Structure 1
Amino acid sequence: MWRGRWIMLICLVLALAGGFAYIETATPIYTSTAKLYLDYGGIPVVQTQESARIPRTDRYLYTQAELLVSQRILGAVFELPEIRRLRTFANVTIPMAYLRKNIHVEVGRRDEIVSISFSSPHATEVPQIVNDIVEAYLASRSDSQQRNSAQVMKMLQEEMARASDELNGKRDELAEFESTSMPLSLGSDQGSGVAQLYLSLQMEYTQAQLRASDAELFYRSAQMLAKDPETLRQYARTRSQVAAYAGGGSEIAPLEAQLIAGQSDLDALLAELTPDHPRIALLTAQLERIRTTIDELNGRFVRVLLAAAERQYIEAKDREEELAGLYHEQRQQVAELNSELNRYRRLITEVSDLEAHCQTVRTQIREVRTIVGEDVGQLRMKILEPAMVAQLPSHPQKSKIMAMAMILGLLAGGALSVLRDFMDQTLRSGDEIAAVLGVPVLGVVPAMSQRETVPSRGRKVHLQPDAPEAEAFRTVRTAIFFGAPKEARTILVTSPAAGDGKSTLVSNLAIAMAQAGQKTILLDADFRKPMQHVIFEVEHDQGGLSAVLTGQMKLAEAIQRTDTDGLSLLPCGPAVSNPSEILNSPRFTRLLTCLAEAYDRVIIDAPPVTVVADAQILGATCDITMLVLRAGKSTKKIGQRAIDDLQRVGARLLGTVVNDVARSGDRYGYYGTYGRSNGSGRSGSKAVKNRQVPSDGSGPKSAVAITSKGDR
């Protein structure tokens, strides 16, 4: 929206201008309003028990609002001669329809006031029309809509007779109930006794259920332990009554003691005598008799105990069933008692309400008798405020229209700005490029003045080292130093399309690297539209890269010096008809290898990657590749296409450089503060044109190294 602020401003101005024009050209409309008040002329008609003391008037008011604009009322208004002569209806084909359409009746939401409004361009005629409608409405109220005192008195007497009959009937019903069912009423001794007996039976029945459950558990357990008399005897000791009834097994204990003692004597004799000795045989026979006796006693104990447990369980179950019947019978009596108590309370309440209602009706009858000759109970409409001549027009409302125009202008401008931004795929900042394209941003170069010449912009680092643009190029150089591999010597610089500023970046980057102490050569491989010879102001028609690759000139003769120490230039050379084939030849590959051996950095200016295939060929050969994008010109689509084209051939993309970024916010203003104040490195002299490397060996290292390798 900030980028589209001018669109928003234009829309706002147009909307305000349109609102102002509408206000100036619109016909002023005047509105007059009369107010009617709903008045209670006496007391309200007797109400039912469910209704409120004040009768509801909302339906009545809405009904009267419809009557105000009914055909009968408006027809009576148009019968007046002065209404027919009004200018408001002069050019109206159907006056009745026009009046009905423009009359507005509103019912108050929190009061009993009805407002009647009418609008017309003629301010003096509007209140006359409204007041005539109100007078016609008040005059048309029918006598049948009003209730006189006799009618009200008759209604009150009828209501009194009905209420008295109903009260007498309820009193008789209450008296009969008290005479027949009074012992069961709340607070009687019989009622309290029934409730207490019910609670007692409930407690006793619960205890009987517990006893029956416990007896059943003991009986089932005794059955399971019948085969183990000793365990059963120990378990039976927990039930003292059953154990005592079964004998408890007291005579078994002495026999078991004798059995244990005899067994000990038998073991002692067996140690001294043979098994067939008479004493041993006698003792063995005695022990067998004791065991037999114990078994008989155990069997009798088990039988007696099981019989006792079963009898106890049956008795407990019978008691439970007996108490269950008594409990359910008593609960039924309690339920009947509660029903009678509820009926008794209800009768008392009804008698009390009817007595209060009869008293209210008597009071209203006395009030009616005090009123003589007045209508009672009617809803009367009174004129609260008559319609007056409006001093100011009600339409158009200047402030409201201008506010709406401002809001609509802002909304339209915002919508157009968002739509424009949504449809605009242009990349505008480094953060946006990094987020959208997913590649790192090596640096951001601010926009340069278009009044500067191409050589001035292309050698900004050399000519104006303190400028913010020069500092931006040195930032890119630093990013390459720390981001590229140490063995990377050949650097390809390309862009998605022409005019992105890659040639300016290449020349300034080469100068910055040379100033950093690295021997650098700038190779102009853009055979389509070469620019480096223009930037460095050298001749390239007599020789250059194309002449070297075609064998017309030796490399040492084609390399030219620049006015920057440590920087050499290999211009493009004469135009060729097959640039892609030349760049894709083994001869160019060997040339690039030799330059990488002779120089620390070989920077190559390549054509746009999406226009021709030259940049892809060079990207597959060079160590690293840099992509130059121009803020406000390069789009997401063409940027992604350029990256895909480079990655498709295996180019090692180091990152992107954002060129021509707007200086809004003075993002780069601080660079000048920390620049070189002594002017070191600034050269005011122009570069020597057509400066070539001497062939006697005094030239740069690259010329010596390359010329020593035969035909290369």
Structure 2
Amino acid sequence: MNQQDNFNTFPQEEVALKEILSPLWSRRWKIIFFTLLVTFFVAFYVSLLKPSYKATAILQIGTNKPANTLSINDAFNESVASHEQIQTQYELLRSRKFAERVISRLNLTAHEEFNSGKYNDKIPFLASRDISDVRPNISQIVPAFRSRLSINPISGTELVKISFVSYSPELSMQVANQIGITYLQYQDEIHSESKESTSQWLVDQLEELGKKLEASELALQTYRETEGIVDIKGVSGLVGSELTELTSSALAASKKADELAVTYQYIQTHKGDFEALIELEQIANQVTYLQLKRSEEQIERKFNELSKRYGPKHPRLIAAKSEFTSLQKRIKEHVNNLVVSLEKSYFTSIEKVKATERRLDIARKDYLRLSRLENKFSQLEREVKTNKELYSNYLVRLKEADAMGNYNSSFYVRFIDKALIPKFRIAPNKSLYVIMAFVLSAGFISIIVIMKELLLDTLNSRRKLENFKEAPILAVLPKFKLRSVIKGDTPYYTDSRFIEAIRSLRTSLLFSSEKKAPKVIAITSSVPNEGKSTIALELARSYSEMEKVLLIEADMRHPTLYKSLNLDVHRPGLSNLLAKTHQINECILRDKNVKLDILTSGISPANPLAFLSMKRFKMLIKVFSNFYDRIIIETPPVNAVSDAVIISKLVDSVLYVVHGGKTKREQITSGLRILRQVNAPIEGIIVNHSENVDSQNYQNKYYSDTGNIIKMPIRKQV
């Protein structure tokens, strides 16, 4: 299993957490230093501040009668002050004019409180200046005074807290109490000023109301005499009753006349038609007519019975017929009399309607006239009554004011608790400031570190490694400190995690590939200082534990291998061998502890690319391949020069080293693209100096424990 497979076995949650916490741990000393530095400066700054003291007085501002207004109801009726009026008093206590009055009465322009800074005298240039030098005026002190003053009403009560913060406990008490005293004096001044103006206003109003009352009474009496009014309401009531009765009579007469008009029209239409006339309801339902009709029916039945018994000349039959004829004549005369009576009733109803309407018209005119008189009289009477009430009210209030000697104000004000000298300071809270500075600075720098790591477009996390698809990840080498020991004449690195990561890389190159393990390996990078020299040296040493290995330093522009091996910078090497100035045995360094030969870069030539392009360099690689099991070549960075491109054509595999925390993905992609353009055999990427992606935690302990290791003698190189 290769290193990439090991990454995929970790849960995403662990990766995400480690990606956040690893930068904090790796930079813990920087975070601690910054946090302590900020905390120290805050602690030092707080130690320079003067202690502040706060004194509080409690004042009661109660509601009472409103003060002088133009409305008589608002002026004298009991009412509760509105929320706006109460709020106005609080704003008055906070006002600039009020502050100036308090400053003036306490002579605060000469007080040290407003002539010195907020710092104590621990540092000379921050110490208080001489008060006698420059004395500020009131307007300059007001902003600082108001910033230290707080007016806080107690919810649900008539109480208000007056607090003042000062460097002097005595001054804080004096100012808090003086605010209340000044407010009391201010209310007294308002009351005194309003007394004279209010009394004069009442006198003027009484004089004017007296004239209005006299004029209204005279107008009422003149109108009463002119119109002869004694009891206007009684007369108006009688006329109203009469008008109601006449209206009812007129409606009834008009209704009856309408009914008789229909009957009269019917009579005129059927004049002389007896059968049609008797169909009238007034005739058909008349009592006498009904009695005659019953008598007619009886005689008719009698005549019919006699006609059956006797002949037409029988005396009884003749008598019965004569009686029947006489009764019919009586009925006809009665009907005619009823018709005449109905006609007379019709004409009578018409006359009655006209007479009623005339009386109603007269009564209506009388009622309207009396209504106008009553309205005018009532208006004059109301005016007299209103003027009397106003005059009486103003007269009573004036006498009350004279008796009291003053008016009640909108508010009554009194001290509940006067301020006392505070014993404990309220600021600065040094412990709180220091703790907050520590926490905030630690949080700030931690967020900066985390954001910087997350925003870097490098391969510094498992997530970024998993998303990198340009080339396979062969190994991830941890960041370690350069601690070395000398074995023989050659220094060796002792960090067990780094050494084991190099061995894992060697194993991956030997066994994980389907093709034959590469014999000639080139190691390059994107830019300088990514650790390719160290990786090349340690990988060569790892191979040399079981093979004969040659390490060639082909970076003749900026050689660094001589530093790692404590060699002379001018020692002959690859450039000397290519220039034929030295022999092979003079240029190759032999490590006595392992099977490792090292060919350094030698003297830096003027044109290294020309040296590497020689056929002699290619021939040397072939010759060396016959004598060594593995050849590792360190090359210059790909993005810097073209040396690595030339060398990549002569090797079996190219290992691409990147710095886990510095190399940008764009630089990696650009270098890989350059190598692929010449079909270089890119084996994969080695992530060096990784801080966030590390091997399992147990490796450090597992491989660093050397108590059970038996040191075997190393076979000398043949």
Per the normalisation by structure 2, the TM-score is 0.50
Per the normalisation by structure 1, the TM-score is 0.50
Q: Which has the larger radius of gyration?
A: 2
